Amino acid sequence: MVKLRLIHNILNREWKVHIRCVPRSQNVVVDHIARLAVSGPPNLVVFEEPPISVQGLLLVNKRSFHSS
């Protein structure tokens, strides 16, 4: 309930917000990075380059994007 209230407060600000549901199967790179964040310490992490564990996923994602 706390998270829902936080989301509600964010949406009520004077911002233009669009929310779109993207299935995990179509967003494996972000899903993988989110799992990396959950497994580590609760800090802000800025990647200068994609983690090695994500680079292969990015190539697959790029190939599937160009073939559509």
| pLDDT value, residue 67 | 62
Q: Answer with the residue of higher pLDDT: 8 or 66.
A: 8
Query: Under a CB-based contact definition with an 8 Å cutoff, are residues 33 and 53 in contact?
Result: no
Place of tokens 């706390």: 2
Task: Using alpha carbons, list the distances in angstroms from residue 57 to 1, 2, 16, 33, 51.
Answer: 34, 33, 31, 11, 10
Mean pLDDT along residues 19-44: 79
What pLDDT band is residue 66 in, cutting at 50, 70 and 90? low
What pLDDT band is residue 25 in, cutting at 50, 70 and 90? confident
